[in-house]
Every structure is written in C-alpha cells, then in structure tokens.
Amino acid sequence: MHISEGVLSAPVIAVGWVAAAGGVAWGLRKLQPERIPHVAVIAAALFLAALVRFPIGPTSMHLTLLGLAGVLLGWSAVPALFIALMLQAILFQFGGLVSLGANTTIMGVAALTGGLVFRLFGTRLPMMLRAFASGFMAVVVGTVLLCAALWLSNSDFRGTLPLIAATQLALALIEGVVTALIVGFMARSMPRLLAS
Amino acid sequence: MSPPSIDTSLPAVASGYPQFVERKSRDARALLLAAAAVSVALVMARSLWTPWLTALILLIALLWRAKNEEKGATKTLLRRLLPVNAFMIFLWVSLPFTVAGESVHWLGLDWSRVGLHLAALSTGKANAIALVFMLLLTPLGIHGVARALMRLKLSPKLTWLFLLTVGTIHRLRDHFATALRAMKLRLSPDATLRQRWDGYAAVLARAFVQSALRAETLQKAMRCRGIDPASGALPSFDTKRWDNADSAMLFVALALAIALAVFG
C-alpha cells in the first residue's frame, strides 16, 4: 500500500505532510510516556510483520496489519506507523521519505478506522467477526485514500485505479482473516493486550 | 501452498547497537535537509530529462562509491532499487493502455503517448529521489537519522519511539525468523489451508504477545535507570557539530534544488 516516490503531485504531498503532522502530533499528545516502550515494540513487530511474505498462487504479498495496529494502539498507531514507514523507506526503499506524509496519512486513517470498527460493535458481535471487519475495513479505507491520492495527483491515473482496487480487495480479505486469527489467539493468551 | 517466509536481508544498520563513535561525515541535519530540498524540486519536475539525467548522474556517483567500498556493495545498491521500480513496472504495463489521447502503434499494440510520458516521468522521479536519499542518508545509518531527529528538536517522545523501535527490530526479527522456520518444520505436507493459516497467525500473534511482555520489561528497565521519555532528555553519543562545510553543502543543495525547480 506504499505509494512510491515520484508519483504524487506537490500539492498532494504537502496536504499529506500537513495531515500526517497533525495525526502524529495528536497521537503523541495522547501517548502516555510510560506507554512509549509498548508502542515502540509493537511498532517494531508491525514493521517485521509487514516483511512476512504470504504466498498467493504464483506470487506473494506482504501484509500490512493496519486493522491490528488500530486495535492494539488506538491513536498511538499514527506515530508508530510514521516510524515504521520511515524505517521501511530508509532500509528498503519501500515508499519513500518525500511521500512519507501521504503514506502515513493513508495508513494512519486506515488503522484508526480498523480500531474504530473493532470498538464500535463492542460486545454485540463475536470478537473474531469484529477483528475480521477491522482488518478488512482498514485495507478498504486505505485503498480508497490511496486511489484518491493518485487521482488528485494526476487524473490520468484513473484508468489504473480499478486494477489497484482489485488487487487490494484480495489483500483486504486475507488481512481480515489473519487479523481475526491473531486477535483470537491474543484473546486466549493475553486478553489484557486487547483491553488496553 | 508453501508456508510464509520473512525477508532475511535486514540491513546491518538496523542491528540495534548504536554507533557510539560518529563517523566523519556532514552534520545529519544538513544531509537530511539537503536531501529533502533536492527531492521536493524533483517532485515538481515537468520535463523528462531533469529526473532521468539527475538519476543517471547519481547512479554513476553511487556506483563509483560502491566500487571503493566492500565487496557486494554494487549488488546491494542495485537490489535496493528493485522495490522502487516494482510499482513503476505496474505503471508501465497499465498507463500506456488506460490513458486516453494520441496513440502510437508499436509491436502490434496501440500505446498512449501521454501514458508513456507519465510512466517515464514517474520512473525517472522515483529513481532520482531514491538515489538522492541513498547518496546522502545511507552512509548515516539508522542512528544517524535518529541523531538528525534529535538535533532538529522534534518531539522527544517521537525520537524515543524511533530509538526504541530501532533497538527492538533486530531481536524481534530473529524471533520471527526462528518461529517461522519452526512452523515450517512442524507443518505436515498434508496440512489443510485452515491449519496453515492458523499456524501462520499463531506465529504472528505469539510475536506480538512476546513483544508486549518485552515492552513491560523495557519500561521497568528504563524506570530503574531513571530515564523519563517525557523529560526531553535524550541519549547523546555524538561529537559532531554544525560547521562551515555543512553550511556550504546545504547552500549548494538549495541552489541545485532551485535550479531544478525553475528549469526542470
């Protein structure tokens, strides 16, 4: 879901940075100092989880676990994703530092949506179902924002948007299933992780 | 379906062990600001030659530097350009056929001229910007970037978050790789898709649970050492200070950025 360098226009990059700065600032404001090690370690785990290749037919894809980030970290997911994306840009050239603001905004909003979906239904729905919806909706919202960023950067990209959406839909389903399985495991082994 | 795997090529700079002695280089802030200025100018480029020529010059410079570094540096450099161009391949196979307008007939297909131009422009910009960062920031390493964040007076919470994340990655990565290898060995070849997915999710979930436990230990260790992330006090390992050479380098970078923005 990373947008590469050189694709976005200057106004979209600027708006992305402003939105990301606001999100990161708010996330840091809400982050209690004693929770910093917790968020940092979860951010490192998210960074590594995104490197795990999951085979699909002849190809493979990387997970994003944005829904899980929202469930586990809430608003702290935004600075955590900012750090994880910065490291991925520096270490692997995934995304990039100029498009870091836009990527943080897209993924941050997606993670917050995932967290919101998980908490919204409270105990009315089974936890596994809420976790699936969280993982699924996070990728769907991220894809909508990604397509909007591309379209706003250059309307000539509109022909490629259905292709991007189709590949991301497959990812959304897998993310939903994997998020549900992970949350199910956590609920059995360390429920306080989900309660926080 | 084969079991999932993890990229094992985590660069050494993420080893989690700070470089206590800073290598002789420019001030991290100067390098970060210079890279940002040139990159923003490249984003605004409209003609094809500006990003492509910049990318070519930078690639030659980096290959020259790699030649004088340790064995395999050239291969590493080229391998790092692969992720940059993965999305570009997608643009090359989609844009020439989805963008409306004047087309050219070649290899039995109708290619949109505007689509080809957009794909070429995006590819040039993506590679040029990636090469700028590789030239200026890669020698700094992760801890150099952390030093730049400190010196730019960003939020101490953000810098602590960055330092602790970097410090944890290497250990967690080893845990991930071992757990995935163990799962691969334990899985029966006749395992169902559901069993494989369950195993995969269990590895990830266990990593998160262990991460949370490790975070609690880390928090206690920081408290025992009297470290308070909210106080703004940050560890300082560096001796490098901004000097005239840093100012000169930043001046040249800004002049180049202005030239690229005006003439590109």
Domains assigned to chain A? 10-195 (1.10.1760.20)
Residue A43 to residues A46, B15, B78, B111, B263: CA-CA distances in angstroms? 5, 16, 28, 43, 41
Same domain (yes/no): B115, B90: yes
Look at residue B10 and tell me whether its pLDDT is greater than 70.
no
A/B interface, count of CB pairs below 8 Å: 239
**Average pLDDT for residues A8-14, to the nearest whole number?**
91
Look at residue B20 and tell me whether its pLDDT is greater than 50.
no
d(C-alpha B177, C-alpha B181), whole Å: 6
Asked if the structure places residue B213 within a domain, the reply is yes
Asked if the structure places residue B100 within a domain, the reply is yes
Pick from A28, A92, A183: CB nearest B157:
A28
Asked if the structure places residue B127 within a domain, the reply is yes
Asked if the structure places residue B1 within a domain, the reply is no
Split at pLDDT 50, 70, 90, the class of B15 is very low
Same domain (yes/no): B75, B185: no
- Contact call for A83 and B7, based on CB within 8 A: no
Same domain (yes/no): B62, B179: no
d(C-alpha A76, C-alpha A65), whole Å: 15
d(C-alpha B110, C-alpha B97), whole Å: 7
Same domain (yes/no): B175, B70: no
pLDDT digits (tens, 9 = 90+) for B179-190: 888 887 887 777
- Tokens 């001046």, residue located: B251
Same domain (yes/no): B43, B108: yes
Same domain (yes/no): B246, B176: no
pTM beyond cutoff 0.95: no
Look at residue A138 and tell me whether its pLDDT is greater than 90.
yes
Contacts A72 to B, Cβ<8 Å: 208
Same domain (yes/no): B163, B213: yes
pLDDT given at position B210: 80
The domain in which residue B101 lies consists of: 27-142+239-264
Contacts A102 to B, Cβ<8 Å: none
Which of B46, B77, B161 should be substituted to probe chain A, the one whose Cβ sees the most A Cβ atoms within 10 Å? B161
Pick from B4, B114, B216: CB nearest A156:
B114
- Report DSSP letters for A100-120, one per residue: HHHHHHHHHHHHHHHHHHHHH
Look at residue A152 and tell me whether its pLDDT is greater than 50.
yes
